[in-house]
A and B are shown apart, each in its own frame.
Chain A
Amino acid sequence: MYNFEVETPGSVADAVAALGREDAQALGGGQTLIPTLKQRLASPSVLVCLSGIAEMKGVCRTDDGQITIGGGTTHAAVAKATAESFPGLSGLASHIGDPAVRNRGTIGGSLANNDPSACYPAAALGAGATIVTNAREIAADDFFQGMFTTDLEEGEIITEVRFPVPEVSNYQKFVQPASRFALVGVFVAKFGDGVRVAVTGASNDGVFRWTDAEAALSANFSAEALGGLSISDDDMISDLHGTAAYRAHLVGVMTKRAVTSAA
């Protein structure tokens, strides 16, 4: 890697100030950024390390019933804290990467990176979460703007993520055999006023909502309701590990399995 300076702020305010420096880059759990630096594919002059900010860590339930997760909370911590309160999210978090990844990687880092094959974007979009930054609140529907692209401004930090808790939910991931990222991952969440379905791994545009499935499942929350549905492979990823047609097919299979597991 190239040389850089490291800042270790203890508060969000200090982190925001540090990110104002030229070519500064926020460092969450480092599960993407550190390998990128090691390969000399990025050359920030300053790394602003967010892992020492206590106010960005932890999971709690707010008065309105939402689950609020600090942006610097690791996947392992989320998996443990939400096992009872939000098993769909807990199950997703407990299958990201391997134990080393889960004990370093953070929810804020994952959402900010918006890897098209990452798991967390499916949960945030599928549950209709609110991404809270140092500056504002952003609805998940507005946050994700294509692969590796989000609504975040330069220097903006995800401080917490608020999840409405669905009646039932489930995430099904079909892994890419090498990386074990999602080849296709589907998060299904059933709320009192309808069903949301978010798909990761499949699309050239990153995570997206499968609205046809949402409509069908809102009318009848069962795998059978998806029987006649299929999704176009027009914008699906085609690579070494699967064609666009295969991914489109898997979206249907994983959605049915998520519904069956959630119901």
Chain B
Amino acid sequence: MPKDGGIGASSKRREDVRFLTGAGNYTDDINIRGQAHVFFLRSDVAHGTLNAVNTAAAEAMPGVVKVFTGADFEAVGGMPCGWQVTDKHGEPMQEPRHPILAHGKVRHVGEPIAAVVADTLEQARDAAEAIEVDITELPAVIDMKAAVASDDVKVHDDLTSNLCYDWGFVEENKAATDEAFEKAAHVTTLELVNNRLVANPMEPRVAVGDYARGTQDHTLYTTSQNPHVIRLLMGAFVLGIPEHKLRVVAPDVGGGFGTKIFHYQEEAFVTFAAKACNRPVKWTSSRSEAFMSDAHGRDHVTKIELALDAEHNFTAVRTETFANMGAYLSTFAPSIPTWLHGTLMAGNYKTPLIYVNVKAVFTNTVPVDAYRGAGRPEATFQLERVIDKAARELGVDPVDLRRQNFITEFPYATPVAVEYDTGDYHATMDKVLALSDRDGFAARRKESEAKGKLRGFGINCFIEACGIAPSNLVGQLGARAGLYESATVRVNATGGLVVMTGSHSHGQGHETSFAQVVADMIGIDENMIEIVHGDTANTPMGMGTYGSRSIAVGGSAMVRATEKIIAKAKKIASHLLEASESDIELKDGAFSVAGTDKSVAWGDVTLAAYVPHNYPLEDIEPGLEETAFYDPSNFTYPAGAYTCEVEVDPATGEVSIERFASADDFGNVINPMIVEGQVHGGIAQGIGQALLENCTYDENGQLLSASYMDYAMPRADNLPEMTHYVVDHSCQTPCTHNPLGVKGCGEAGAIGSPPTVINAIIDALQSGGHKVDHLDMPATPARVWAAMQG
């Protein structure tokens, strides 16, 4: 029976009422009296020497408050990188300076060169056109392998090369891995591209800077997934503003998908300019700006090899990946192709030897950083594709080959430094095969063939490391931040609660699901609980939301804080009931004395806490408010198995996804409806990557896919009918190390689905006699057709 409240209930998303009725409060809705607007003049060349920026004419234009150039920021720190990767020789990565406004050189199309602050946006744009920019255009380097092979074109003159780092993992395993390949009975090799993506959240980025001259307080309103991280990075490393004089507010945010994690120049600019101009300064990104200034995602070029013995046991995996950093290091860019990618190369399999080499490369392109899944989709895609290729080469069932190599005993320490706590990969495989009716596939293929279509069945597994945390572990791996989470639970006198969380909701439904957890623990109605997030002024220091970490880490902090509340409330109840504290039980929002009919209601206790007339003041303080910080002992490891059926039109190469099924193990689930929505959305983005999305530059560094006219987003009709778009999370092996037993579900769909789609297309093409063993994403009609022509 579905529950009607608390943990496990599909409570309707309370925040949707305001989102769907136009009552949300997004950053662009924030307009401060007297605000000016900024327009950024951005580079239209990918690489060039910036000889001069003459702003005299612009400054004389109507409405112009001030025009800024890179020279105005010479005394200010550059944009910081939050993660330092150490290369295979033990040396730190190369870390270039990243100015707020370009200085000396421009290094990608879209890099801001100057900023005009004016009374209106149109005046700022008019004035920007009057700025004279003298650039000597230089050859650009776009291709990663070319960037590494030669120093003829260097993105950063002061670095030794275009190589950010050359990372080997685990370096000590390299010799043994190479030896395993020499002894292998069979080796399958696959070279592939993981296509560059643009996140495209529905709400573009916005930043509003405000400065109170009287108190010298700075406020930044911004579209961020982690306002405290922005406060720390911008305050400490960029502008030198102490945290107690800097408030960062991320109000309602319309989608992030990773690209709103990072600290961007525009945020630092409006904060700086608000003081410099003594006026609030607002920037709202246009969609065109978003394409060339939001951090992009993915963009790996990989060679993966899989070694098997004569019995088809995986004996080793070896990879070489070129990972595009773009022109500068975005906030967490170095960690994505390393610690969020290399550590996942075991997948769901007991491969004993793994060696991962990653070369991170600077190019004259927009910086690349985390995008939904971040490193884990790249790991999953190459591993699941090479396994599928191996099964075809060996003539074995891809399901059997996977099952044979599944990890079955937990905890399991992989050869790539992580320990899976729980899982049951056969269970999710069984489930997805049942959901997808694999047994009926042959008949469906015949039906498709009768219509002149090729039908294919794709399957794969995935695992991800989520609940991105242990601070001590990520510190060892180079993170320049902790990754705990926080919560303050404030109980009001009349019994209602406010939970202030360091997590941030930008579409995930935290206001609903977090309330369910606390309501369940106390036994009260969810509607008595308000979830507050997104404002450094009224939430405890938190690390924000990404990496499917909010319920696993933020939710656990909330559980810990609520446990403290309950413990104190029991003390108060024991006083009111004149009973021993150990005899007090909390059930359905009432405290009772075990074995008696004596009880007090939740509201009686909370009132006593704030009106302490009859109260043990000598033993406990009045009030009922507790804070907890939670830092887990491990990542969580959601895993699953996905299937996809496609029809390929051999006349045009068009691919249609007819069926999709997912069996995910997220451990315990708080709100099944929200979980299913997250998976549906994640799969939609994965299908977008597999079939449609492609961020493309020409050889001169011009962004070819710079608008929705050329960048194809998935739409409803690219997805299967809902009756054949089945997401299931009934296989549950609860996480063993967090109090809720949860694993996180935000990224799974985007991680697990791309290889499923490509595996299905390859199956379809081979069924038609086409000798195609790989297709790079996106599998557009033109690419599929070209592959069929041989």
Contacts and interface: CB of A to CB of B under 8 A. Distances in A.
A125 to B, nearest CB: 23
A253 interface: yes
B710 A174 contact: no
Given A40-B125, A178-B711, A240 B696 contact: yes
Contact of B710 (A240, A246, A249, A250): A240
A250 to B, nearest CB: 6
Contacts of B691: 177
B708 A179 contact: yes
A188 B654 CA distance: 22
A243 interface: yes
A241 interface: yes
B492 interface: no
Contact of A179 (B122, B709, B785, B786): B709
Is chain B's interface secondary structure helix, strand, loop, or mixed overall?
Answer: loop
Interface in B749-790: 780-782, 785-786
Contacts of A249: 785
Contact of B781 (A1, A177, A178): A177
A206 to B, nearest CB: 17
Contact of B652 (A39, A240, A250): A250
Contacts of A177: 691-692, 712, 780-781
A194 interface: no
A141 to B, nearest CB: 29
B471 interface: no
Nearest to B696: A240
B278 interface: no
Interface in A76-128: none
Interface in A225-254: 240-243, 246, 249-250, 253
Given A177-B692, A253-B651, A246 B709 contact: no
Contacts of B125: 40
Contact of A243 (B692, B694, B704, B786): B786
Nearest to A242: B782
Given A178-B708, A179-B708, A246 B651 contact: no
A159 to B, nearest CB: 30
Contact of A178 (B288, B651, B710, B786): B710
A174 B781 CA distance: 10
Contacts of B122: 1
A235 to B, nearest CB: 18
A178 B782 CA distance: 13
Nearest to A184: B652
Contacts of B709: 178-179
Contacts of B700: none
Interface residues of A, number: 15
* A interface majority secondary structure: loop
A240 B288 contact: no
A26 to B, nearest CB: 23
Interface in A167-190: 174, 177-179
B780 A174 contact: no
Given A242-B782, A246-B782, A179 B710 contact: yes
Given A178-B709, A178-B711, A253-B651, A241 B782 contact: yes
B782 A253 contact: no
Contacts of B288: 39
A249 B654 CA distance: 13
Interface string A15-50: 000000000000000000000000110000000000
Contact of A246 (B696, B704, B705, B785): B785
Interface string B672-694: 00000000000000000001101
Given A240-B696, A242-B782, A243-B786, A178 B652 contact: no
Interface in B508-558: none
A241 B711 CA distance: 10
Nearest to B649: A253
Nearest to A247: B782
Contacts of B781: 174, 177, 242
Q: Range of interface residues on chain B?
A: 20 to 34
Given A39-B288, A178-B712, A246-B782, A240 B705 contact: yes
Interface in B12-30: none
B708 A246 contact: no
A240 B125 CA distance: 31
Interface in B692-722: 692, 694, 696, 704-705, 708-713
A249 B785 CA distance: 10
A25 to B, nearest CB: 19
A243 B782 contact: yes
B417 to A, nearest CB: 40
A250 B781 CA distance: 11
A241 B778 CA distance: 11
A240 B781 CA distance: 12
A94 to B, nearest CB: 15
B631 to A, nearest CB: 44
A39 B786 CA distance: 35
Contacts of A179: 708-710
A39 B785 CA distance: 35
Contacts of A241: 710, 780, 782
Nearest to A39: B288
A246 B712 contact: no
Contacts of B785: 246, 249
Contact of A240 (B651, B704, B708, B713): B704
A189 to B, nearest CB: 22
A39 B705 CA distance: 16
B715 to A, nearest CB: 9
A174 B782 CA distance: 11
Interface in B628-653: 651-652
Contacts of A242: 781-782
B685 to A, nearest CB: 16
A40 B122 CA distance: 11
A240 B709 CA distance: 11
Given A240-B696, A249-B785, A174 B652 contact: yes
Contacts of A240: 694, 696, 704-705, 710
A40 B125 CA distance: 10
B704 to A, nearest CB: 6
Contacts of B705: 178, 240
B663 to A, nearest CB: 29
A248 to B, nearest CB: 12
Nearest to A117: B709
Interface string B103-126: 000000000000000000010010
B110 to A, nearest CB: 15
A246 B712 CA distance: 19
B127 to A, nearest CB: 13
A140 B677 CA distance: 50
Contacts of A174: 652, 654, 781
Nearest to A243: B782
A88 B780 CA distance: 28
A241 B696 CA distance: 11
A110 B786 CA distance: 32
A136 B782 CA distance: 42
Contacts of B692: 177-178
A177 B655 CA distance: 11
B16 to A, nearest CB: 23
Given A178-B711, A253-B652, 15 more contacts: A39-B288, A40-B125, A174-B781, A177-B712, A177-B780, A177-B781, A178-B708, A178-B713, A179-B710, A240-B704, A240-B705, A242-B782, A243-B782, A246-B782, A246-B785
Interface of A: 1, 39-40, 174, 177-179, 240-243, 246, 249-250, 253
Interface of B: 122, 125, 288, 651-652, 654, 691-692, 694, 696, 704-705, 708-713, 780-782, 785-786
The 10 A-B pairs with the shortest beta carbon distances in the complex, nearest first, are A178-B712, A177-B712, A242-B782, A179-B709, A253-B651, A246-B782, A178-B710, A177-B692, A178-B711, A240-B704
8 contacts: A40-B125, A174-B652, A177-B712, A177-B781, A178-B708, A178-B712, A179-B708, A241-B710
